[in-house]
Amino acid sequence: MKSRHTIIDEIPYLDINELSKIGALDGGAHIYPNVSLKYPFLCQLRTYRYRADMMMRHCTTWKLFRIEWTPCTFGGKRPWFICTCDKRVGKIYGGGIFLGCRHCYEGRYRTQKLGKTSRKFRRACEIRLSLGGEPAIRRPFPERPRGMWRKKYDRLRLECEMIEWELKGSQFSRLAPDYTQFSFC
């Protein structure tokens, strides 16, 4: 049975924090006519302090999103998109001819579709990658990276070894390293 939920990781998005970092929300009107280079689903983008106007490709109408600012604990303010469903979100996704949040898309992250054992295997591989090793539990455990605290290394190694002990004898203990399922940021 196929799930009706969209995988959100595969849909291009516009992040409010990126707009804030480049100064697009500082006040006044900012117009970005060549925004399609970074955001392929958009044709034009206009930003103001409390509003963002977006025109999608193959569409002639502007889609308006309000921007709300909330105070942070240690000072400053954080921007949020207000989606058409009235949710406060950090990302607006654009797939097809529709702009909306992940709730409007009824989307799930790729890891939410994994089973319990698959999530454990993924966590073990992520720990190995973070230590400079390969994402396969049948390989030798990587050495402590230079500059990492021994206490942190021991904690990660213990966590990984406990997960691998639970996966011993399963199909995951025989898998070869696969880097394609991990996103490198």
- Averages of pLDDT over runs of 10 residues in the chain (185 residues) are 72 90 87 82 90 86 92 94 93 82 86 86 91 86 94 96 87 69 56
88 with 127, same domain: the answer is no
28 with 78, same domain: the answer is yes
**pTM (2 d.p.):** 0.69
Residue 2: per-residue pLDDT:
53
117-134 core/surface letters (b: 16 or more CB in 10 A; e: else): eeebbbebbebbbebebb
Range of the domain at 122: 114-174
Residue 158: per-residue pLDDT:
96
Does 184 map to a domain? no
Residue 112: per-residue pLDDT:
82
99 with 16, same domain: the answer is yes
Domain count, the chain: 2
Does 185 map to a domain? no
CA end-to-end distance (rounded Å), the chain: 33
Does 89 map to a domain? yes
Residue 171: per-residue pLDDT:
75
